[in-house]
Amino acid sequence: MKQKYSIFSIVRNAIGYHEGWQEAWRSPDPKAHYDMIIVGAGGHGLGTAYYLAKECGVRNVAVLEKDWLGGGNTGRNTTICRSNYLWDESAALYDHSVDLWHGLSRELNFNVMYSPRGLIHLAHSVHDIQEIGRRGNSNYLNGIDAEYLTPEQVKQWVPFINLNTRYPVMGGLLQRRAGTARHDAVAWGYARGADALGVDIIQNCEVTGFRIEENVVKGVETSRGFIGANKVGCVVAGHCSVLAEKAGFRLPIESFSLQALVSESIKPKIDCVVMSNGIHAYISQSDKGELVIGAGSDPYNSYSQRGGFDLIEETVGAVVELYPIFSRMRMLRQWGGVVDVTVDRSPILSKTPVKNLYFNCGWGTGGFKATPGSAHVFAHSLAGEDMHPVAAPFSIDRFNTGALVDEGAAAAVAH
């Protein structure tokens, strides 16, 4: 039985010099066989295991992670959560997530610091205005909150913004229910919850191949030996094409490094998230006071998790152009993560040509926001015969049929 986190447990453990806290999750050795194996202990993988155990009655589950849990893109993103994508299919998926975000801390008994502080997409051209207008109307029809802002209204939200940049601010699209969450806490909360329900989380266990007999997956080869399973779900973000190749098929995915950086801490200055696709600057402020700044991606494919100075320079230039007030701030850290990008900028939640082998990937530059919803519908898809109706439009078949869910404008450089 996991210790419940509460004011009483804090007081009790303070009296005991904090020596009585249980480990948040176990580190078991792998069993020979599981009902289901999830490959990848990011937020989506851990969340999938959690909902399998919690809602689908499948508790003989292992999550296999080649490094440490939450060390992939889940711990590397800029934490932006929103659901204002263009198409109905995306609205169903991303807004399901927003709904789950609202109760997630309570659900997991772990503070994921979800903060729906409002998010503004800036428009800098006639095209941008048309795009946010179309998307805002589409959001409205799907029951997703969307408000058009004039430049003056943008200024009320962010008084120190420079509206007269090279590409002047001509308006904005506001989603009030959008915001941020603490990315590490999401992985830790799901890990703790899944572990408490009996899921084995096995770190430092790399999946190196699949055992496939008569086109049915029977388990995975790992750095710790073969582990059998009735079903396998791969949730490995930037490395999904590597694993797909090992299973004998190709995914329409390109992987490249996406970067981010944070500044030194300052007093609360900006209480919403502001994104500019045109100038490519998007910022929010963390509870620690750091400006969290999304940078661009490398213009070439790689599996590198490092950043580079060229993108830092470009990004910082864009931030200073929009917010001259930040020009003397020092940057503290920068990093990169390997993102997995599809041609239509929508994810893949799908069965594969190999029976009982599923993939959840292709979230590219913007999958953090979808963590609870994706994990929830993927768990139900794995547990049942058919894909969950919300997941079904994101099958890999769409790249053959042409039924793409084109979120190029809503996703684009942004998150």
Rounded to the nearest angstrom, the gap between the alpha carbon of residue 370 and the centroid of all alpha carbons in its chain is: 6
Max intra-chain CA distance, the chain: 64
Task: Name the minimum Å distance from CB 312 to ligand FAD.
Answer: 12
Show Cβ contacts of residue 6 under 8 Å, excluding neighbours closer than 6 positions.
none
Round to whole Å and give the CA distance between 305 and 258: 8
> Does position 245 bind ligand FAD by CB under 6 A?
no
Task: Name the minimum Å distance from CB 386 to ligand FAD.
Answer: 22
> Does position 233 bind ligand FAD by CB under 6 A?
no
State which of positions 260-279 bind ligand FAD (CB under 6 A).
Answer: 260
Minimum CB distance to ligand FAD smaller for 174 or for 410: 410
Burial class (CB in 10 A: 0-12, 13-18, 19+), 250: exposed
Among 138, 217, 224, residue whose Cα is nearest residue 173: 138
Task: Name the minimum Å distance from CB 16 to ligand FAD.
Answer: 34
Show Cβ contacts of residue 184 under 8 Å, excluding neighbours closer than 6 positions.
70, 74, 75
Task: Name the minimum Å distance from CB 20 to ligand FAD.
Answer: 30
How many CB atoms are located within 10 Å of the residue 341 CB? Answer: 21
> Does position 97 bind ligand FAD by CB under 6 A?
no
Minimum CB distance to ligand FAD smaller for 5 or for 226: 226
> Does position 108 bind ligand FAD by CB under 6 A?
no
Q: Helix, strand, coil: what percent of the chain each, to 5?
A: 35, 25, 40
> Does position 95 bind ligand FAD by CB under 6 A?
no
Round to whole Å and give the CA distance between 131 and 146: 13
Residues binding ligand FAD: what is the number (CB under 6 A)? Answer: 40
Applying CB under 6 A, among 104, 181, 237, 281 the residue interacting with ligand FAD is 237
What is the per-residue burial (b if ≥16 Cβ within 10 Å, else e) of 25-40? beeeebeeebebbbbb
Minimum CB distance to ligand FAD smaller for 62 or for 64: 64
- Stretch of 6-14, 71-79, 100-108, 146-154 lying at the interface with ligand FAD (CB under 6 A): 71-79
Cα 324 to Cα 276, 320, 327, 332: the distances in Å are 15, 5, 5, 19
Q: How many CA atoms lie within 13 A of 166 on its CB side?
A: 9
Label the pairing between strands 207-213 and 200-202: unpaired
Among 287, 257, 86, 45, residue whose Cα is nearest residue 181: 287
Q: Fill in the amino acid letter for 238.
A: G
Minimum CB distance to ligand FAD smaller for 232 or for 322: 232
State which of positions 39-58 bind ligand FAD (CB under 6 A).
Answer: 39-45
Task: Name the minimum Å distance from CB 6 to ligand FAD.
Answer: 28
Minimum CB distance to ligand FAD smaller for 61 or for 236: 236
Rounded to the nearest angstrom, the gap between the alpha carbon of residue 242 and the centroid of all alpha carbons in its chain is: 20
Applying CB under 6 A, among 62, 122, 207, 293 the residue interacting with ligand FAD is 207
- Stretch of 166-174, 233-241, 349-357, 388-396 lying at the interface with ligand FAD (CB under 6 A): 233-241
> Does position 73 bind ligand FAD by CB under 6 A?
yes
Minimum CB distance to ligand FAD smaller for 177 or for 415: 415
- Stretch of 7-15, 76-84, 117-125, 325-333 lying at the interface with ligand FAD (CB under 6 A): 76-84
Task: Name the minimum Å distance from CB 190 to ligand FAD.
Answer: 10
> Does position 80 bind ligand FAD by CB under 6 A?
yes
> Does position 339 bind ligand FAD by CB under 6 A?
yes
Minimum CB distance to ligand FAD smaller for 170 or for 284: 284
How many CB atoms are located within 10 Å of the residue 12 CB? Answer: 13
DSSP string, 376-396: HHHHHHHHSSS--TTTGGG-T
> Does position 74 bind ligand FAD by CB under 6 A?
yes
Report the interface residues with ligand FAD, using CB under 6 A.
Answer: 39-45, 64-67, 71-74, 76-80, 206-207, 235-237, 239, 243, 258-260, 294, 337, 339, 363, 365-369, 415
